[in-house]
């Protein structure tokens, strides 16, 4: 089974694909999708949709996983995150000629607990565990690392 983990963000969306065979996890690919901060919002969202759709078409995952939305102290940041997240979910929903790619959502604490063993883990701890769990992976950056963590959590959470 292939799982696509997604870490939606307007500035840089992370993605990671893992293969799950029983209890064995294997890194397939990962990357980051940045958008141009000075571009109009509609163009940024369209570019994000295209890029996520291309990842789905390229790797043909069996399901996707994303972190549940959280609320920032800044309402504008929350709104931008929600818009980016909506576009990412729409790309999953429109995948495979209208059949859609099943998508599951996990709380950030559940992701950290599944990867590190504690829901209060720091980003550095999550990234260190990724090196243990996916030793052959060359991780594209912090957003890709977060996406791989979501995919691993989804594999562990069933």
Q: Which of 43, 54, 67, 122 is catalytic?
A: 67
CA distance linking residue 75 with residue 94, whole number of Å: 28
- Whether residue 7 is annotated as binding a ligand: the answer is yes
The number of residues in the chain equals 158
- Whether residue 143 is annotated as binding a ligand: the answer is yes
Q: Is 137:17 a contact under the CB 8 Å cutoff? A: no
- Whether 7 is catalytic is yes
- Whether 62 is catalytic is no
Q: Is the dihedral of CA 66, 68, 72, 74 positive or negative?
A: positive
- Whether 146 is catalytic is no
Pick from 3, 9, 1: nearest CA to 55:
3
Q: Which of 54, 62, 68, 143 is catalytic?
A: 143
Q: Which of 7, 62, 105, 154 is catalytic?
A: 7
- Residue whose token pair is 């243990």: 132
What is the Cα 139 distance to its own chain's centre?
A: 13
CA distance linking residue 71 with residue 51, whole number of Å: 25
Which parts are annotated binding residues?
7, 67, 143
Residues designated catalytic? 7, 67, 143
**Annotation: binding site for Mg(2+):** 7, 67, 143
């Amino acid at each position: 089974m292939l799982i696509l983990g997604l870490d939606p963000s307007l500035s840089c969306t992370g993605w990671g694909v893992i293969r799950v065979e029983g209890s064995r996890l294997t890194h397939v690919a990962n990357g980051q999708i940045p958008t141009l901060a000075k571009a109009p919002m509609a163009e940024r969202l369209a570019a994000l949709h295209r890029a996520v759709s291309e990842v789905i078409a390229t790797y043909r995952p069996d399901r996707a996983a994303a972190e549940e939305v959280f609320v920032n102290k800044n309402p504008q940041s929350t709104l931008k995150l929600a818009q980016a997240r909506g576009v990412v979910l729409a790309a999953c929903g429109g995948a495979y000629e209208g059949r859609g790619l099943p998508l599951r959502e996990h709380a950030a604490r559940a992701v950290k607990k599944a990867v590190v063993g504690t829901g209060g883990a720091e980003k550095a701890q999550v990234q260190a565990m990724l090196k243990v769990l996916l030793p052959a992976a060359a991780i594209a950056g912090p957003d890709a690392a977060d996406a791989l963590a979501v995919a691993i959590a989804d594999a562990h959470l069933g």
